[in-house]
Amino acid sequence: MAAGTIAVGDQRVETLVTNLTPAQILAFAHASGDLDPLHINETFATEVAGYPTVVAHGMFTMGLAARILTTWVGPGKLRSYGSRFQKEVLANDTLLGTVTVVGLRDDGSERLADFSLEIRNQHGDVVLTGTASALVS
């Protein structure tokens, strides 16, 4: 991507998932190898852990959020990507992601853009905040 096409303040807002299903969480559990019963066992999640239903992996939300970045700057362009998991994502949630360009800088020979990320659920609660930097030229 040419540096001229991205500017501080540019923003993308995308729906990451609508009504997340337990089956989607289960598929991610197997794909990622994280079979913690909190994610895949309804009885465990509700009766033992005390949640209303199964909880999605933080890495699932982070992986979904990465798509906004990679579709924007292109695959293989990320130089760093970090997330703080603020609140549990549950089955049936709908997630809306907002990614904003917060800076542009040179790092050696590379032109980098810095991004902030914020993912909210259908109640407006922030479930993930994050930052990323990506090569843009």
Binding flags for other proteins, 41-80, as an x/- string (CB under 8 A): x-xx--xxx-------xxxx-xxx-xx-xxx---xx-xxx
- Of the pair 9, 81, the CB lying nearest other proteins is at 81
User: Taking a C-beta distance cutoff of 8 angstroms, is the pair 67, 16 a contact?
Assistant: yes
Instruction: Please report, as residue ranges, which positions from 8 to 47 form the binding site for other proteins (by CB under 8 A).
Output: 17, 24, 27-28, 30-38, 41, 43-44, 47
Q: Residue 9 Cβ, how far from other proteins at the closest point, in Å?
A: 24
Q: What is the DSSP string of 66-133?
A: HHHHHHHH-TT-EEEEEEEE-S--BTT--EEEEEEEEEEEEETTEEEEEEEEEEE-TTS-EEEEEEEE
Q: What's 44's DSSP letter?
A: I
Q: Residue 57 Cβ, how far from other proteins at the closest point, in Å?
A: 7
Q: Hunting for tokens 């930097």 — which residue is that?
A: 133
List interacting residues with other proteins (CB under 8 A).
17, 24, 27-28, 30-38, 41, 43-44, 47-49, 57-60, 62-64, 66-67, 69-71, 75-76, 78-85
